[in-house]
């Protein structure tokens, strides 16, 4: 039983000793400079008495005495360790002032990428390498892109981006930077009055184009309408010209039969009488005196009334 309790005590002591003692031992070893861990996207620069004694660029676990020698144990106490971020960084410079060849004040927005390629040069060759790189890019934009034709500024952005990159890259390497992509992202007018004038010109031009389109449409409609009216007039005139011939041919065919012709003309005459507005008076055929009176316009005598016999 005592042996079992001793075993359990040893296991517990080993567990808690490993849980607490190992991290304390590793922290102590790191403090005295026995080892270090370089994370991904970082670089360590070790400086002792103003001299760079080592640079660790690759990620991993390093035993410092194997990399720096015995001076590794003095670096954390008498020297410095600089942790440099070597990941890709981006920056955007807004509205860099340039003038076109025509004298128009333009603003150019530049987007560029950079990463630290030489940590030692980044630390010791320039007090503010990032600000200096931004100023260098801005100056390169002004020097390279000023006095260019306005059309080239608005269209050839790839050529302008390459010109800026070619001018900035040599200087950036001296400061420990490696310049990546450079892109002219935006080209715009800086003079608000000029912007308003251009907008007014564009609006007027759009109105002119719209009016021209409407006028052209009206002209096309007029041409189509006049063509249709001319063709209709030609067809009506042709029909009017051939109408007597058609009517004459029909009458010739009807006149070939006398009975049919008489019946047709009689019907036409009756139809004309019925359609007319003249008054029609019907008289008995055996009253010639009544006929002459009506023709002369005198009123006809009233017929004698027979007296009713008394019953």
Report pLDDT digits (tens) over 110-120. 999 988 888 98
Least confident window among 15-29, 38-52, 90-104:
15-29
pLDDT of residue 250: 79
State residue 189 phi and psi, 5-degree precision: -85, 140
Say what the pLDDT of residue 309 is.
Answer: 43
User: Which residue did the predictor score with more confidence, 203 or 310?
Assistant: 203
- Rounded to an integer, the average pLDDT of 93-106 is 85
pLDDT of residue 2: 67
Q: 101 or 110: whose pLDDT is higher? A: 110
Helix H or strand E segment including 48: strand 42-48
Confidence of residue 281 (pLDDT cuts 50, 70, 90): low
pLDDT digit string, tens, across residues 197-207:
778 888 888 98
With cut-offs at 50, 70 and 90, classify the pLDDT of residue 282.
low
Beta-strand relationship, 60-63 and 35-38: antiparallel
- Examine the pLDDT at 137 and tell me if it is beyond 70: yes
Looking at residue 239, what is its pLDDT?
Answer: 83
Cα angle 93-94-96, degrees, rounded to a multiple of 5: 90
Contact, 110 vs 182, CB < 8 A?
Answer: yes
Chain segment 146-178, per-residue pLDDT in tens: 888 888 888 888 888 888 888 888 888 888 888
The stretch 253-278 carries a mean pLDDT of 76
Q: Is the pLDDT of residue 311 over 80?
A: no
At 33-74, the pLDDT tens digits run: 788 889 988 999 999 888 888 899 888 888 888 888 888 888
CA pair distance 153, 186, nearest whole angstrom: 10
Q: What is the pLDDT of residue 295?
A: 67
pLDDT at 73: 85
Token pair recorded at residue 112: 């560029």
The band of 308, judged by pLDDT with boundaries at 50, 70 and 90, is: very low
Q: Which of 35, 27, 116 is nearest to 68 (CA)?
A: 35
Rounded Cα–Cα distance for residues 196 and 224 (Å): 42
Please say whether the beta carbons of 188 and 107 come within 8 A.
Answer: yes
Tens digit of pLDDT for each residue in 208-254? 999 999 999 889 998 998 889 888 888 888 888 888 888 788 778 77
Q: What average pLDDT does the chain have?
A: 81
Instruction: Find the mean pLDDT for residues 80-89.
Output: 89
Half-sphere exposure of 196 (CA within 13 A, CB side): 3
């Amino acid at each position: 039983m005592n042996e079992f309790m001793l075993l359990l005590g040893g296991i517990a002591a080993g567990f808690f000793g490993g849980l607490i003692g190992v991290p304390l031992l590793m922290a102590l070893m790191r403090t005295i400079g026995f080892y270090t861990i370089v994370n991904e996207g970082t670089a360590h620069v070790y400086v002792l008495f103003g001299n760079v004694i080592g640079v660790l660029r690759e990620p991993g676990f390093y035993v410092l005495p194997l990399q720096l020698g015995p001076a590794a144990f003095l670096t954390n106490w008498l020297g410095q360790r600089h942790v440099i971020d070597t990941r890709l960084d981006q920056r955007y410079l807004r509205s860099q002032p340039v003038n076109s060849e025509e004298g128009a004040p333009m603003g150019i927005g530049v987007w560029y990428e950079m990463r630290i390629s030489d940590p030692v040069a980044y630390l010791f060759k320039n007090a503010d390498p990032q600000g200096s790189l931004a100023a260098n890019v801005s100056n390169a934009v002004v020097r390279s892109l000023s006095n260019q034709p306005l059309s080239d500024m608005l269209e050839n952005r790839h050529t302008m981006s390459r010109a800026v990159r070619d001018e900035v890259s040599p200087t950036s390497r001296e400061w420990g930077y490696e310049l990546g992509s450079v892109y002219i992202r935006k080209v715009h007018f800086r003079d608000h009055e000029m912007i308003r004038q251009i907008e007014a010109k564009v609006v007027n031009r759009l109105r002119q184009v719209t009016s021209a389109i409407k006028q052209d449409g009206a002209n096309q409609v007029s041409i189509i309408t006049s063509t249709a009216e001319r063709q209709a007039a030609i067809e009506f005139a042709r029909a009017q010209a051939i109408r007597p011939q058609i009517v004459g041919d029909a009458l010739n065919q009807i006149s070939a039969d006398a009975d049919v012709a008489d019946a047709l003309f009689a019907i036409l005459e009756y139809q004309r009488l019925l359609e007319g507005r003249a008054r029609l008076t019907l008289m008995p055929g055996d009253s010639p005196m009544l006929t002459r009176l009506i023709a002369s316009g005198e009123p006809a005598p009233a017929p004698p009334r027979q007296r009713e016999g008394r019953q």
